[in-house]
A and B are shown apart, each in its own frame.
Chain A
């Protein structure tokens, strides 16, 4: 059984936000909505302070709290581990947003564009009225994965079948692949390095792993 997952190498991330921009470009998210974002975090207390760049977004959990609380069944988890939202079912109650420990969900109550009331050409091309008033979040670019698989491509290896954020990463800090395949890029990275998952104590089983040191 396939389990799509993402691996972020914190040693490599330089906080350039190219992945953020690539996600916004690929998914046409409005201002203020960042399905992929990179936190520029200051950790520790003076004088022992470090700066760390942390890519975050939907963790595509094994046991997603957002799915459990969703009253409309709009949020579901595919067999390959990708957590999806059916925009035609969602009522926009935002219960999923308060249930998500990763602040990965957004709700936009009206159409918002970068420059005033009218969309730019690129915004108009990607505008989806179904996303107004409902919950939205990172999809792991599921449409690219599905189309790529249908074309015989390998997600995480072939760019056409890989999430936009991973393709755009200038430092090769972001990786995508099948955790169920021991030969996959992500499985090998996790086998060779020490990693953690965020808020693991909550039992959500995030599908987003962070590398922080070699074994």
Chain B
């Protein structure tokens, strides 16, 4: 029998380097959004956010086969979400640096809007991958977007101890948990679902319930904020890593009608 057949197998084209773009880029974009919404003095957080996004893009650059041609990635914004993500990133960095230098509300808002566009493009990159059933599910878009919001809000919590940051994190964690439930329901029958069960359970227990409890007990626990942030971000990254590298089963080959031999 062939090694390949009707049974799906995991794609090997995208590995940790590609996953890192979704992990670091999502957290960075989420932190830029959180910086605009809940942080009165966001300079250091914004700088860190841009480092995260740049780190993700650098990681995925390491994965491409022809590194010196990287600028060709901008050539197809008409249909490719990867081109769109790259072009949005081009706008994100000057805007982010401008907001960093001069944190006016309109600049912070603009950088947050572009950061949202960046993470939306990332989500649509997966959604457009018709070869991977778990990625092409429409529910992957809210999962990736809310994960970025939750990770960004969690990172903001390390810098900001005012009342808005925990509220934003609570909202983002709840949204991410809901998005995960919807995604799991939609992809339950897919071959890659088993690979996401453990990361998904961790996301709910360590990445949602625990941070919410830590936020509630923040007055009594001095390390509550960094612990909540680490748990929220770590479990989000683990889920995205598993989604890109371990749950990325293709759908194999299908033969809906078997040949009727002897008729020709």
User: Chain B binding site: helix, strand, loop or mixed by DSSP?
Assistant: loop
Interface status of A202 (Cβ within 8 A of chain B) = yes
Query: What are the residues of chain B within 8 A of A101 when measuring CB–CB?
Result: 130-131, 250-251
Decide: A41 and B1 in contact? CB cutoff 8 A: yes
Residues of A within 8 A of B255 (CB): 10, 41, 43, 52, 54, 198, 210
Q: Is B52 an interface residue (CB 8 A)?
A: no
Min CB distance B162 to A, Å, is 40
CB distance from A107 to the nearest CB of B (A): 6
Interface string of A34-59 (1 = CB under 8 A from B): 00011111110000001010101000
Query: Which A residues are CB-close (under 8 A) to B256?
Result: 196
Q: Select A73's contact among B75, B132, B264, beta carbons within 8 Å.
A: B75
Contact A69 B253 (CB under 8 A): no
Which residues between 68 and 107 of chain B lie within 8 Å of chain A, taking CB atoms?
Answer: 69-70, 72-76, 79-83, 86
Q: How far is the CB of B2 from chain A (nearest CB, A)?
A: 4
Is B248 part of the binding interface, using a Cβ–Cβ cutoff of 8 Å?
yes
Q: Which of A50, A65, A109, A214 contacts B130 (CB 8 A)?
A: A65
Which residues of B have CB within 8 Å of A69?
Answer: 79-82, 125, 128-129
Task: Say whether A164 faces chain B, with CB atoms less than 8 Å apart.
Answer: no
Closest CB-CB distance, A199 to chain B, in whole Å?
A: 6
> A214 is contacted by which of B75, B81, B83, B263 (Cβ under 8 Å)?
B263
- Whether B65 contacts A134 by the Cβ 8 Å rule is yes
Given A91-B72, A213-B260, the answer on whether A68 and B80 have CB atoms closer than 8 Å is yes
In the bound assembly, the distance between CA atoms of A212 and B83 in angstroms comes to 41
Q: Determine whether the beta carbon of B254 is less than 8 Å from that of A39.
A: no
Within 8 A of B (CB), among A176-215: 193-194, 196, 198-199, 202, 204, 210-214
Cβ contact within 8 Å between B70 and A41: no
Residue A21 CB within 8 A of the other chain: no
Q: Does B64 contact A (CB under 8 A)?
A: yes
Q: Report chain B residues within 8 Å CB of A50.
A: 258
Partner of B132 from the list A92, A98, A107, A199 (CB cut-off 8 Å) is A98
Q: Is B181 an interface position by the 8 A CB rule?
A: no
Q: How far is the CA of A99 from the CA of B127 in the complex (A)?
A: 10
- The segment from B4-12, B24-32, B233-241 found at the interface with A is B4-12
Q: Is the interface of A mostly helix, strand, loop or mixed?
A: mixed
A138 on interface, CB distance cutoff 8 Å: no
Instruction: Tell me the chain B residues, 124-139 only, with Cβ under 8 Å from chain A.
Output: 125, 128-132, 135
User: What size tier do the contact residues of chain B reach?
Assistant: 35 or more
Q: How far is the CB of A65 from chain B (nearest CB, A)?
A: 4
* Contact between chains at A71 and B253 (CB < 8 Å): no
What residues of chain A lie closer than 8 Å to B222, measured between beta carbons? none
- A:81-122 near B, CB below 8 Å: 89-95, 97-103, 107, 109
Q: Contacts A65-B130, A100-B131, A212-B259 hold; do A11 and B64 have CB atoms under 8 A apart?
A: no
- Determine whether the beta carbon of A71 is less than 8 Å from that of B254: no
- Which of chain A's residues have a CB closer than 8 A to the CB of B258? 10, 43, 50, 52, 212
Indicate whether A133 reaches chain B with its CB closer than 8 angstroms: yes
Interface residues of B in 198-221 (CB under 8 A from A): none
Give Cα A43–Cα B149 distance, bound, in whole angstroms.
45
Bound Cα distance from A55 to B222, whole angstroms: 64
Question: In the complex, A34→B1 CA distance in Å?
Answer: 16
Minimum CB distance partner of B126 in chain A: A98
**5 tightest A-B CB contacts, nearest first:** A92-B65, A133-B65, A10-B259, A72-B72, A94-B13
Supply 16 further A-B pairs (C-beta < 8 A) apart from A11-B264, A90-B65, A211-B264: A40-B1, A42-B1, A50-B258, A68-B128, A69-B80, A71-B74, A90-B72, A91-B64, A91-B69, A97-B11, A98-B14, A98-B131, A101-B131, A101-B251, A193-B264, A213-B263
Residues of A with Cβ closer than 8 Å to B? 9-12, 37-43, 50, 52, 54, 56, 65, 67-74, 89-95, 97-103, 107, 109, 132-134, 193-194, 196, 198-199, 202, 204, 210-214
13 A-B pairs (CB sep. < 8 Å): A12-B264, A40-B2, A41-B2, A42-B1, A52-B259, A54-B253, A71-B74, A89-B69, A91-B69, A99-B128, A133-B66, A213-B257, A214-B264
B contact set with A: CB distance below 8 Å:
1-2, 4-6, 11, 13-14, 60, 63-66, 69-70, 72-76, 79-83, 86, 125, 128-132, 135, 248, 250-251, 253-264
